[in-house]
Each structure stands twice: as structure tokens, then as C-alpha cells.
Amino acid sequence: MLPDIRDEKQLHAAFRWDIPERYNIGVAVCDTWAEQEPHRLALLDVQDTGIVQPVTYGALRTHSNRLANLLVSSGIERGERVAILLPQSREVAESHIAIYKMGGIALPLAVLFGTDALAYRLDDAGVSALITNAAGLAKLRSMPNGLRPFKLLLSVDGPEGSALGYDEALASQADTFTPVDTTPDDPALMIYTSGTTGQPKGALHGHRVLPGHLPGFQLVHEFFPQHDDVLWTPADWAWAGGLLNGLLPSLALGVPVIARKFEKFDAAEAWQLIADLKIKNIFIPPTALRMLRTIPDPRSRYDIQLRTIASAGEALGAETLVWAQQELGLTINEAYGQTECNLVIGSSGLLGMTKPGFIGKAVPGHTVAIIREDGTVCLSGEVGQIAIRRPDPVMFLGYWRREKATADKFIGNWMTTGDQGIQDEEGYIRFIGRDDDVITSSSYRIGPVEIEDCLIRHPAVALAAAIGKPDPLRTEIVKAFLVLRPGFTASEQLASEIRDFVKERLSAHEYPREIEFVDSLPMTTTGKIIRRELRARG
């Protein structure tokens, strides 16, 4: 927990880790609160019809206990992997809690995954049980080798084929369960990270991953929880950000979480949700924030009561930061990390710990540095790789069945990220880009973030992505893919105007020599732009 000290230097000096010798995520996010206040609100589950169903901690305990009993009676043993393929819903929360309490390993899977991605993860992890819905079952049946056998297959949409109905199966189970006695280092959660090369790898985390997240979570949400806090994130709870920067820490701290399934992110619907449910805290990817910007003057249109905005997944950019300060009266606090070691860098407007163009400083309790290829620490202003020193409670236990890949992730005691950055003399860290996203043009190394941030300042541009395109003279040139705002039409004249706009504001070597107008940008389930797909287009 973060001490309530409103001075940055004093806060860092006072912070100490206090992780108990026995710890279980399921108990921490559910049973502890259910024992004290069973009627305390845990979730607001927004149905497709718009009806909001409140879920208490007591109800979460009852349902998760029944599910834990069902898993055990189905032959699922401690350490076996149980996959969850569902959009945001109470069943996702119940499933995570049950899996942790019975000693299994939760494997969240994004609902946007295609059949090949699902088949690979299910097989690689050796999944014993799966909790999904009718849409998930349809995907499973269309996988290359069809529906694989599981010890237990549940569908929240009711029984279908070999799948038992979730509610029907739970109804016959006892509503009491004694959680297994786990240590912070016992495996609890595995999330596959795509990385930049090779097949996805399962990042295995211990129960300690949740207390490891709490200081950074409280920092970016400005000493969360405060009175009447309610948190929402549009990020899929299958992503480390949605799960560990949203759902689990909020529940652990006794704050209600909004569960709302978006088939596709819609800015107007998002603003309406924030107003209707009096949401105080949001965790939202930068791309979604840029989409929110397309709704002019939101405070006059909606009854917004936001207290904090946190963002992660990509660099935010100064333009979006200024927009939030001017339009919402709030500072967007950035969070940085990876699936393997998340929320280790952050910013806080309340503490004055923010600087435009920088993602923040090391969160109390974490040691972060910019390092060279030999593992030595860079000087201030020197470009290098962002790295985190071990041991660290939020750091992964290792990659699932990949000892060499785990070893290769480290240089000495530094866990490398593959992200290029710079640290200034005050300790602020600037994110430049992934190793493979950095553009080399006429001997200059250019990060795409600064270019994209400049591009979206142009009144015609809604979204932008910059890549390096091979060029025989300059090694690479900057190419921009742009999504236009409503009312603007793609033309060479507009492209020329935008090129001049960037050239005047950045420099002659950073402006996009080539511009392609597109209807949309390829994005991951977490809202990151998939630049490798754009590079493949050329």
C-alpha cells in the first residue's frame, strides 16, 4: 500500500514493501471484504440491454466458492491452467477469484482472438478447463483441429454440446470453500505476451503480482481509494492492463468496478457511461483517449464527475495531455510496464510528478533505469533500453516452459523491456519506442511518438501512426497513416498541408515524406497500434 504522503521525495523515502508470507489473490479481492461487509458493492454489471446489475462482495464469494468446488470436483488440481474467454462481466471476476482460491492458474484470453491464436494458447498452456460463452464455443469448434477435450467446459449462455451451463452447474455446488494456503510466489496467473519475435510466450505470475501493482495503481489514481470512487476501463480484462491496472486492484481496495462490454469502442457511448454511472476513475489506452477527444466540449454535453484518468499501453503524447487539462480540468497520469513486469513507472498530477513528453518516474518500490547493451546504466539524456531491477514483487516468475527465453530477458539483474528511452536529470523517463519501431533516417534515430503527437494536432487528423519505410538513400523515410476527422476529405493538397504542418513544428528529417489516408488503424486488443502490420503494407 502507498503511504498517504503528498510529497514525492518523502513518499519514496517512506515506502517499504510489506507482502505477507501467505497471500492469495482470490481471498484479497473478495473474501476479506465479504467477511467484513458482505453487502458492499463490488461490481456494476452493465447488460447489453442497458440494465445495470449490482454485484456485492458477498455474492462474489458465494458464486466463486461454488465455482471453486465445481473445478475441484471436476478433477482440476492445484497448478492446472483454467482459461477464461469472456468479455467484461461478473462471471469473469467470479472465475478469476475461484481459480485463485482453489490454487489453479488463471489464463485470460481476449475475446478478439482468432481461432489460430486461441488454439496456440490453449495447447501451449495445456489448459484443463475453459469458461466461455456461445461465441467462444463457436470459435473453439472452428479451430484447426476442432474442439479439444477439457476436464470441464462451461458456457455462461447455457448448456451446449459438451459444455455445461455456468449457472446450472454452479447451482448444485456448495457455497462454502476453504481457499488453499498459497505463498506470494505460488503461480496464480498467466498472460500471453505477443512480443516482437517468435510465437507468443506465457508470462507466469505469482500471487504477489497483485500487491506488487497496488503502489503504482494508487499513484496514478492519486491515492486511490477516495470517497465515492468508482472505476471503469474499456480495456479487455484479459489484458494485463485491464486486469491488473483495473479490475483486481480496485476489488482489493474495496472500490466498485464497472463491467461493460463494448463490441467496438464508441466515444459518445463511453462519455454517456461515465456520466450515467458517476464514474470517478478511468484507466484508458491513449488511442481510446484520442477518440474521446473527437467529442467537442464534453463537460457541457455530459455530467462528468471524473476524479482521475490513467493511461497506458502507448506513449500518451503532449497534445492529449493538454486536451485533458483544458477540456476536463484533469491531468492524465501515465503508467508504464509490460506483461512481464507491469506498472513500474507512473506520473501523478497531484504530486506535481508529471512532465509533458515523459511517461513519469519509477513508482515507489521499483528500481528502473535506462541501460546500455552491456547492462551498465546510461547517463542522463543518453538513449538506451528501459529496464527494471530484480527482485521485484510485480515481476513475472518466468515464461511458461521457456527457460532460455526467460534467461534472455535479463542482463544481469536487469529485466529488459525492448523499449528505448531516455532519463533526464530529474528522473523522468521519456519513451522513444519499441526497438523495432524506432525509425532510422539519414543517420537520425526517430521515435514515432513525437511525430504522431504532432500529426494529431492538425485539425483534420483524428488518429495517426508513423513508421519507417525502407529507402535506398536515407535508409528509411517516415511514412504516416492517417484517419481523418469527419468533414475532411483525403487529397494530395491536404497531405501536403499536413507535411508542412509537421515540418514547421518538428524538423526537416522528422516530417512524413509519405502520407496514406486510411479508414482505420490496425490495433491490438489493448488499443495499441500494430505498426508491424503497417510496415508490411509498405
Residue 104: give its domain's CATH number.
Answer: 3.40.50.980
Is the Cβ–Cβ distance between 184 and 101 less than 8 Å? Answer: no
Q: Where are the alpha helices (DSSP H) in 27-165?
A: 32-36, 57-73, 90-101, 115-125, 134-141
| Among 96, 163, 94, 171, residue whose Cα is nearest residue 135 | 163
Determine the residue type at 518: V
**Model pTM?**
0.86
Give just the sign of the alpha carbon dihedral 244, 250, 254, 258: negative
- Residue 480, strand partner residues: 466, 515
Determine the residue type at 411: I
Domain endpoint, select from 180, 207, 234: 207
Is the Cβ–Cβ distance between 124 and 98 less than 8 Å? Answer: no
On whether residue 72 sits in a domain, the answer given is: yes
CA–CA dist 528, 522 (Å, integer): 8
On whether residue 179 sits in a domain, the answer given is: yes
Averaged in consecutive runs of 10 residues, what is the pLDDT profile of the chain (538 residues)? 93 96 98 98 94 97 98 98 97 98 97 85 96 96 85 98 97 98 98 70 97 98 97 94 96 98 87 97 90 92 97 80 94 95 97 92 98 97 96 98 96 95 96 75 68 90 92 83 95 95 78 94 76 84
User: What does the DSSP 8-state code read for residue 65?
Assistant: H
Three-state DSSP at 439 gives strand
Domain endpoint, select from 207, 226, 242: 207
Give just the sign of the alpha carbon dihedral 418, 419, 421, 423: negative
Instruction: Look up the domain containing 175 and give its range.
Output: 19-29+60-207
Residue 208: what pLDDT? 98
- The domain tally of the chain equals 2
Question: Residues with Cβ < 8 Å from 222, sequence gap 6 or more?
Answer: 307, 308, 333, 348, 349, 350
| Among 167, 175, 148, 191, residue whose Cα is nearest residue 65 | 175
On whether residue 368 sits in a domain, the answer given is: no
**E strands along 158-227, which residues?**
164-165, 187-193, 201-206
As to burial, measured by CB atoms within 10 angstroms (0-12 exposed, 13-18 middle, 19+ buried), residue 326 is: exposed
Determine the residue type at 239: W
Is the Cβ–Cβ distance between 240 and 191 less than 8 Å? Answer: yes
On whether residue 202 sits in a domain, the answer given is: yes
CA–CA dist 291, 212 (Å, integer): 31
pLDDT in tens, 64-111: 999 999 999 999 999 999 999 999 999 999 999 999 999 999 999 998
Is the Cβ–Cβ distance between 43 and 57 less than 8 Å? Answer: no
DSSP string, 308-320: EEEE-SS---HHH
Residue 503: what pLDDT? 84
Distances (CA, A) of 53 to 376, 385, 503: 53, 45, 52
Is the Cβ–Cβ distance between 451 and 480 less than 8 Å? Answer: yes
On whether residue 65 sits in a domain, the answer given is: yes
For the record, the C-alpha cell of 68 comes out as 471453486
CA–CA dist 422, 249 (Å, integer): 29
| Among 210, 313, 291, residue whose Cα is nearest residue 253 | 210
On whether residue 272 sits in a domain, the answer given is: no
Q: What is the CA angle 5-10-14, rounded to 5? A: 80
Residue 124: what pLDDT? 95
Domain endpoint, select from 188, 207, 226: 207
Q: Three-state SS string across 475-527, please?
A: EEEEEEEEEECCCCCCCHHHHHHHHHHHHHHCCCCCCCCEEEECCCCCECCCC
Residue 513: what pLDDT? 93
Is the Cβ–Cβ distance between 62 and 98 less than 8 Å? Answer: no
Residue 281: what pLDDT? 98
pLDDT in tens, 4-52: 999 999 999 999 999 999 999 999 999 999 999 999 999 999 998 889 9
SS3 content of the chain, % helix, strand, coil (to 5): 30, 25, 45
On whether residue 480 sits in a domain, the answer given is: yes
On whether residue 337 sits in a domain, the answer given is: no
Three-state DSSP at 244 gives helix
CA–CA dist 247, 2 (Å, integer): 18
State the CATH number of the domain containing residue 448: 3.30.300.30
